[in-house]
Amino acid sequence: MDKLPINFKIGILKGLIDTDGCVSKEKATGRYKVQYFSTSKDMCFQFKSIVEELGLNCGVYSIKPHEKTSPSGKKFISKEYYSTYLLKRDVLSLIDIVKPIKAKKYGLVV
C-alpha cells in the first residue's frame, strides 16, 4: 500500500468511514469523534497507518467477544472486533482532508 498515491489513500479512508465508520458529536462535551470499526485487525491498522501518513494521530483497541441481544430479543456472543479512533485534536483535520459524507450531518462538509 506504500506505493499508492496519497489521494487514493484518502479515498480509501473516506469509503471506510462512510461504510463501517462513524462521525459523531458527544452530547456532554460537544466534541466530534471519528471511528472506524472492523473484525479485521489488519484493516484497522491499515486505516491507522494512512491516518498517520497524513500527520495525524489515532489508535486501535479491541473489543472482546461479549453477549449481545439482537433486535428480536435473541441473545448471542459477538465476535472480537476492533475500533480505530482519532485523537480529539485531529478529528476536524481528518474531516477536512477526507470529507466523509457522514460529516455532512453536522455541517462539517459542504
pLDDT reported for residue 2: 77
User: Cα 107 to the chain's mean position, in Å?
Assistant: 18
Number of domains in the chain: 1
pLDDT reported for residue 43: 96
pLDDT band at 110 (very low <50, low <70, confident <90, very high): confident
pLDDT reported for residue 13: 97
What phi and psi values does residue 34 have, to the nearest 5 degrees? -125, 125
- The 10s digit of each residue's pLDDT in 29-65 is 999 999 999 999 999 999 999 999 999 999 999 999 9
Question: Is the torsion defined by CA of 54, 42, 92, 5 positive or negative?
Answer: positive
Is residue 102's pLDDT more than 90? yes
Q: Which three cell numbers stand for residue 31?
A: 466534541
- Residue 26's nearest CA partner among 73, 79, 76, 91 is 91
What is the rounded (10 degree) CA torsion for 38, 39, 42, 48? 30
In this structure, what CATH number is given to the domain that contains residue 83? 3.10.28.10
pLDDT reported for residue 106: 94
Tell me whether residue 1 is in a domain. no
State what percent of residues in the chain have pLDDT above 70: 100
Size of the chain, expressed as the number of residues it contains: 110
Range of the domain at 33: 6-106
Tell me whether residue 10 is in a domain. yes
> What is the pTM for the complete model shown?
0.87
Tell me whether residue 65 is in a domain. yes
Three-state SS string over 33-77 comes to: EEEEEECCHHHHHHHHHHHHHCCCCEEEEEECCCEEECCCCCEEE
- The 10s digit of each residue's pLDDT in 74-94 is 999 999 999 999 999 999 999
